Structure 1
Amino acid sequence: MSVGFRLPGTLDGRIRWLFLVFGVCCLVLVPVRVFMGTGGGSMPVRVAAAVAAGVLGAWWLYGYKREGFPLWSFALEALALGVIGLGLREWTGTLGLAGALVAFRGLYGAWPQVLGYTLAVLVAVTGVVVLTEPGALMPMLRQAPGVPVLALFTAVIAETSRRQGRAAARERVFARLGASLGTTTDARVVSRHTVEAAVGLLTGAPGAWAATVSPDGEVTAVAGPAPASLLAGPRTEHFALVMATVPYGTLVVGSSLPLAGESRPAIASLAAQASLGLACAERSTALQHHTFHDTLTGLANRQLLREHLGRAMARARRGSPLAVLLIDVDGFKKINDTYGHIAGDQLLAAVAKRLQDTIRGADVAARLGGDEFAVILDGMGSPGDAVHVAGRLQTAIAGPLHVAGVTLSPSAGIGIACWRNHAEIDQLLHDADAALQTAKQAGPGRLAVFGSPVKAPAKV
């Protein structure tokens, strides 16, 4: 990311800015010293030295703005320093300028680059002294060790400030991730925040990417230019997402270059935080399901039914037909008393499955309690359609059922109420319940529509 020339806010940025200002000031003084000094350089050489100083200063500003310098610039800058030295013809001034160069450039690049740059600068200074002041070579060489020491000093400062900057950036990434995970209970959202945070921790690594993979191999989230095959590659790292021995998948990260050593502990900590987030999301999902679903049958409970019914009634007011079916298993108490509660529970679970398998995907089946069920038929064209669906449900329920070592032939009464400008949910449910009572009074396996005659039992 490019930067301006104002004082930056980060420690690393401020150090670079200060050394840039110092180096540019030294270069600005070069033309003054070249043209007003007592050096014996010819006018063309002095002009060349002034131009070299200007080019070098402009190059530094460009590299500062780009936040880096290419490797080949070593030769360019060493050549510029040599030309400046020929114009100055004063080894102390040239060596001092070399110190300013390495002080600024030592802030960029890895150790090998800094050492290479320092060596190139010293070679340039030595060449200038040999050409202009051979007798000063030994005094210059005695002073020269100060240049690599200065380069080492600034390189240490740069590395320390970069480490501090990266540590602060990691803290910000973890803070944002913690805030994000605290506001979601969706596992996919947790995975998305995790991969985004992983790429944030790999800032500076070229081509950094991250992905989460579920235990069954499904890629749940991706950030960055991930390769087609996430599970292979020499520069791919895998971090298990595990919480209390429960696996939640794998966090896979990679980049165009091998990951830096300090990145691995950070990504491992991220994986641990993501595992906790996924575990919390799973528990929240399970709790939410338990809150709104019947434990025995897995169907919606009364609370969730009312929520679905409220939304369906809102659609009905806009013209979408609606019918509610209340279903009661005939003789359930006798079956429960005769064969036991286990048989009764198996019967209820089987009835629930048959209901769920028979209705459309847009319809909602619920268990209200005991042996009473309900079905919301959203978008039914007419009461006749609701009666047809109710008949299919009775047929499905009435199939032979093997529970607790016995074969039963269950039946169910069904009450139907169609929405007719009902203002309240309870009014619609009351009409359906009244129809159910009418059907049960007529005998087993009957169905009734509120306000209409009782229908005969379905044929099996």
Structure 2
Amino acid sequence: MLHSQRRQDAGEVHHDLLVPRPRRRAHEQLPVDDPAWPAGALECRSGTPHVEALMTPADTDQARPGDAERYRMLLHIGHKLAATLSEDDLYEEIYRETARALEASGFYIALHDQSRDLARVVFYADRGEVNRVDVAYRGSDSRVIRSRKAYLDNDDLRDGSLMVLGDDADVAVAAITAPMIHHGRVLGAISAQSYEPGVYTEDDLDLLQGIADIAAVAVANALQFTELERRRREAEKMEEIGRALTSELDPEMVLGKVVEAALELLDVDGASVWLTVGKDGFVCRVAESGGDIRLPKGLEWDIKGDIARTLLDERHPVVLDNVASSDVVPDHIREHLATGSAVGVPIEADGRVTGMLTAGSRQPRRFDALDTAVLQRLARQGSVALQNARLHASLHSLSITDPLTRLPNRRRLQIHLDHEVAAARRGRALAIAVFDIDNFKHYNDTFGHVQGDDILKAFADVLCHENRAMNLVARFGGDEFVSVLTDTNAEGVRAYVERVRARAVANDVLVKFGIHVSAGIAEFDPDKRATVNDLLRAADGDMYRDKAERPAVGRRAKSH
């Protein structure tokens, strides 16, 4: 177990850094028969089955290597560590090689992030029991990291800055600790510890520093290799995501894939796409959300203050280390996030911010520059894909929408009728109504095309107001309109026609020009009117009969 040891006048106080104590891996026997190890350099004690490769206080007096042996020893360690690029394997190899050369009943490796002054214990072993943990502390609190010098303490470890191995009843009392320095930068520290006092010498400290110097190069290489592998995997994933996004033409599916990618790439508990609402301020609404922290769609956030300035004006990422204590997140948003950390980046399109992409974790987490870079890249790809999908949807909508009345056009009507006729053949009721504005050409020629367009738009509004969500109203062409009524028989469509006529005679524009409409209806009949063309011809014929019987206004449309 790791401790931070501090002294008080009344005696010792040990503060556990790992609560609860992590589950330990089974004891591991460390091999001592490596043929590459310098012959005679060490005489490790045998007979202790699980830790026989660890130097003991008694062994250290008998196995002090000379300069030549020490050189060969370090050369051997250099070869061993240089061949290891996996971080986890490297940390264990550093431990194994240190334990061959020095008393290391306790041992740990800490890495230091200078930019954040954060040191993390990434590996430790206690009496041969190996653990991989992630315990963090302030790097500047460590004397070795702060001074960049190796340190020896043979008497109860009075240096309060040291992480000390042991449990509450038995704590290491002697230690040697050396910094790992690479290209002038402190990468971290290595500490070998003992449960017996007075076991280490200055030669041991020099040897550990030699090991630390070799380890620093190996750790730097391993970290670089890990980073290159991470970037390679990220690039492959980004390429895969890019292909998936650019091939997707449904805006909703694009948003879903962006969220899935954020969850995977950042390994977070939740991710959401927010899109701006309106033109004033910076009001965002959840358009898509996924993961364990799933925000309800439609949830709105009127973003103000520092967050708005960072995202909207500076267009930089926002990182919240602790959402629970943040005063910039409103309560109605925070209640869905609970505790933990969050990060957000702006989504931009055509030179303006159109939303934000956010990710969050339930547990406190420090999102770093790499995390925000990944999220920013994903936001850019998602924005382009979303614009493409929206453009495609817009073009598709234009291809099936009448530009004047904004009603579905004849092409859309045909697609819809094909679907509904197929359903009618399976037993679903179906009827249609065809409307024609009487003497429309006369009005158009008399009052002009602008007024004619107003008449068409006014009648389209009448039809829309009488239309149910499950039905369709379309402009068939010229001054003809078609209403498709599902689950409706002849009586139902007659009633619908009368409602349309009643609303038409109350419309200000239509009344102003004295507009009347003729109507015809047709009901699906598997024996007589079983195709789309059959229905349209029947309704059209009924409409012309109704028109021929005018000038009587309000005459009921006849049914076939």
TM bracket, shorter-chain basis? 0.7 to 0.9
1:393 counterpart residue number? 500
Could you tell me whether the CA contact under 8 Å between 2:522 and 2:535 is conserved in 1?
A: yes
2:542 counterpart residue number? 435
1:104 counterpart residue number? 91
Could you tell me whether the CA contact under 8 Å between 2:276 and 2:355 is conserved in 1?
A: yes
2:365 counterpart residue number? 257
1:51 counterpart residue number? 50
1:86 counterpart residue number? 59
Matched, 1:295 2:376: no
Q: What is the root-mean-square deviation of aligned Cα atoms in Å?
A: 3.7
How far residue 139 of structure 1 moved from its aligned partner, in angstroms, is 4.9
How far residue 391 of structure 1 moved from its aligned partner, in angstroms, is 1.2
2:516 counterpart residue number? 411
1:65 counterpart residue number? none
CA change 1:320–1:171 in 2 (3 A) is same
Matched, 1:29 2:32: yes
SS of match in other structure, 1:46: coil
Distance 1:258 1:123 in 2: 29
1:282 aligned to 390, 412, 432, which one?
390
How far residue 367 of structure 1 moved from its aligned partner, in angstroms, is 0.2
Unpaired runs of 5+ residues, structure 1, are 1-23, 54-79, 452-460
Q: For structure 1, which segment, 110-119 or 361-370, has the greater mean C-alpha deviation from structure 2 after superposition?
A: 110-119
1:26-61 CA distance string (max 9 Å, x none): x222699xxx989888xxx6323x4214xxxxxxxx
Q: For structure 1, which segment, 142-151 or 186-195, has the greater mean C-alpha deviation from structure 2 after superposition?
A: 142-151
CA change 1:194–1:321 in 2 (3 A) is same
How far residue 140 of structure 1 moved from its aligned partner, in angstroms, is 4.4
Matched, 1:200 2:261: no
SS of match in other structure, 2:476: strand
How far residue 339 of structure 1 moved from its aligned partner, in angstroms, is 1.8
Could you tell me whether the CA contact under 8 Å between 2:434 and 2:483 is conserved in 1?
A: yes
Could you tell me whether the CA contact under 8 Å between 2:520 and 2:539 is conserved in 1?
A: yes
SS of match in other structure, 1:237: strand
How far residue 226 of structure 1 moved from its aligned partner, in angstroms, is 3.2
Distance 2:257 2:205 in 1: 57
Distance 2:43 2:229 in 1: 48
Distance 1:411 1:84 in 2: 110
Could you tell me whether the CA contact under 8 Å between 1:434 and 1:450 is conserved in 2?
A: no
SS of match in other structure, 1:185: coil
1:422-444 CA distance string (max 9 Å, x none): 34311221111111111111115
SS of match in other structure, 1:28: coil
**Alignment length (residue pairs):** 384
Distance 1:443 1:334 in 2: 16
Could you tell me whether the CA contact under 8 Å between 1:300 and 1:366 is conserved in 2?
A: yes
1:119 aligned to 156, 170, 177, which one?
177
Distance 2:213 2:90 in 1: 10
Could you tell me whether the CA contact under 8 Å between 2:177 and 2:208 is conserved in 1?
A: no
Distance 2:55 2:207 in 1: 18
Could you tell me whether the CA contact under 8 Å between 2:519 and 2:543 is conserved in 1?
A: yes
How far residue 149 of structure 1 moved from its aligned partner, in angstroms, is 1.0
CA change 1:109–1:426 in 2 (3 A) is farther
2:531 aligned to 416, 424, 428, which one?
424
Distance 1:38 1:154 in 2: 23
2:440 counterpart residue number? 332
Could you tell me whether the CA contact under 8 Å between 1:417 and 1:449 is conserved in 2?
A: no
1:118-148 CA distance string (max 9 Å, x none): 82865448979x64xx8xx455454443210
Distance 1:119 1:354 in 2: 85
SS of match in other structure, 2:519: strand
Could you tell me whether the CA contact under 8 Å between 1:327 and 1:372 is conserved in 2?
A: yes
1:223 aligned to 270, 290, 300, which one?
290
Distance 2:488 2:291 in 1: 47
2:479 aligned to 371, 376, 389, which one?
371
Matched, 1:212 2:273: yes
CA change 1:398–1:88 in 2 (3 A) is farther
1:39-94 CA distance string (max 9 Å, x none): 888xxx6323x4214xxxxxxxxxxxxxxxxxxxxxxxxxx834497399424499
Amino acid aligned to 2:230: R
SS of match in other structure, 2:273: strand
SS of match in other structure, 2:518: strand
Distance 1:345 1:314 in 2: 35
CA change 1:431–1:247 in 2 (3 A) is farther
Unpaired runs of 5+ residues, structure 2, are 1-27, 82-88, 96-108, 113-118, 123-144, 146-161, 164-175, 179-189, 278-283, 304-319, 327-340
Could you tell me whether the CA contact under 8 Å between 1:327 and 1:412 is conserved in 2?
A: yes
Distance 2:194 2:271 in 1: 48
SS of match in other structure, 2:215: helix
How many percent of aligned residue pairs carry the same amino acid? 24
Could you tell me whether the CA contact under 8 Å between 2:433 and 2:521 is conserved in 1?
A: yes
How far residue 331 of structure 1 moved from its aligned partner, in angstroms, is 2.0
Could you tell me whether the CA contact under 8 Å between 1:364 and 1:377 is conserved in 2?
A: yes
CA change 1:397–1:324 in 2 (3 A) is same
Distance 2:243 2:413 in 1: 33
Amino acid aligned to 1:426: N
Could you tell me whether the CA contact under 8 Å between 2:41 and 2:63 is conserved in 1?
A: no
Distance 2:194 2:33 in 1: 15
How far residue 214 of structure 1 moved from its aligned partner, in angstroms, is 1.8
Amino acid aligned to 1:119: T
SS of match in other structure, 1:376: strand
1:209-251 CA distance string (max 9 Å, x none): 3211121332122233438798773543322212113543211
How far residue 104 of structure 1 moved from its aligned partner, in angstroms, is 3.2
Distance 2:276 2:488 in 1: 41
Distance 2:559 2:428 in 1: 19
The normalised TM-score by structure 2 is 0.60
SS of match in other structure, 1:241: strand
Could you tell me whether the CA contact under 8 Å between 1:82 and 1:125 is conserved in 2?
A: no
